[in-house]
Amino acid sequence: MKLAFITDMHLGTEGENPQGVDVRQNFLKALDFVADMKPNGLVLGGDICNDTGDRAIYEWVKKQVDQLPIPCYVLSGNHDDPTMLAEAFRNTHHLHGSELYYALPLDGRPVLFLDSSKGELSPEQWTWLREYLKALRDNNILILMHHPPLPADVVFMDRKYPFGQSDAFLDIMRELPCHVTVVCGHYHVDKVVQRGNLLALLSPSTFYQMQHNSPEFAIDHYQIGIREINLTTHGTTSTVHYLKPGQ
């Protein structure tokens, strides 16, 4: 089971190029790459919009991903509106209040799609997550969410825009007898963080990548990044692909 994970596209309205980057073109290039990769599914990891959720942008994105012959799953980021996103992706049955979270078996493997768009999970989402983890106890689990659930030594992001409930998340994971892999975005870096039975794969953006060590906001480079995830009966492998300039 191969998944492509594209995240942090930060799309604006047509013709809007944040920081001079043609983010729509970048997204389309990433989709072209995904088409060649021939995955079984595509995940959009949130921060689809650059500023706030926008129906027209979500509809445009839906139109683009519908051209691929694979299902597309969406996560809400802190710049998204979960309700608008769910409406555009005909996914409203997965809305719980104003949060978009759900569980799907992918190739027989349980996958949880969380909504961290408010920087934390609501009490209802925590209850839902605990119940699912209890039911899935003996399975290795894949969790997809926008925020890295724990600090990642990316100084600026850890200080300014971290997930607000890392300790609670780690406490729950620590109790599980299985391995948990989290694939996430938000930090605009490609990084692996392991703690106990938890492995977090931070994924690069299609907009810009951040420097890891800077205490201030600092861009590392503008290459478009895409994560590939392979789920096998033996475990998980993952690779980050960067498109070459001009590709």
Query: Is 162 among the residues that bind Fe ion (CB under 5 A)?
Result: no
Three-class secondary structure of residue 51 per DSSP: coil
- Select the residue interacting with Fe ion from 53, 77, 82, 148 (CB under 5 A): 77
Nearer to Fe ion, 51 or 66 (CB): 51
Q: Which residues, listed in sequence order, are joined to residue 110 by a DSSP beta bridge?
A: 105
Nearer to Fe ion, 47 or 158 (CB): 47
Site residue total, Fe ion (CB under 5 A): 4
Q: Do 197 and 138 form a contact (C-beta atoms < 8 A)?
A: no
d(CA 53, CA 79): 6
Binding range to Fe ion, per CB under 5 A, among 40-48, 115-123, 152-160, 168-176: 40-48
Q: Rounded to 10 degrees, what is the CA torsion of 114, 208, 161, 195? A: 60
Q: Which of residues 98-157 bind Fe ion (CB under 5 A)?
A: none
Nearer to Fe ion, 38 or 160 (CB): 160
Binding range to Fe ion, per CB under 5 A, among 64-72, 97-105, 152-160, 182-190: 182-190
Q: Do 48 and 42 form a contact (C-beta atoms < 8 A)?
A: no
- Select the residue interacting with Fe ion from 186, 188, 212, 227 (CB under 5 A): 186
User: Which tokens go with 219?
Assistant: 């861009």
Residue of minimal CB distance from Fe ion?
Answer: 186
Binding range to Fe ion, per CB under 5 A, among 18-26, 43-51, 113-121, 200-208: 43-51
Query: Is 81 among the residues that bind Fe ion (CB under 5 A)?
Result: no
Query: Is 47 among the residues that bind Fe ion (CB under 5 A)?
Result: yes
d(CA 94, CA 109): 19
Q: Do 240 and 227 form a contact (C-beta atoms < 8 A)?
A: yes
Three-class secondary structure of residue 153 per DSSP: coil
d(CA 196, CA 182): 13
Binding site for Fe ion (CB under 5 A): 47, 77-78, 186
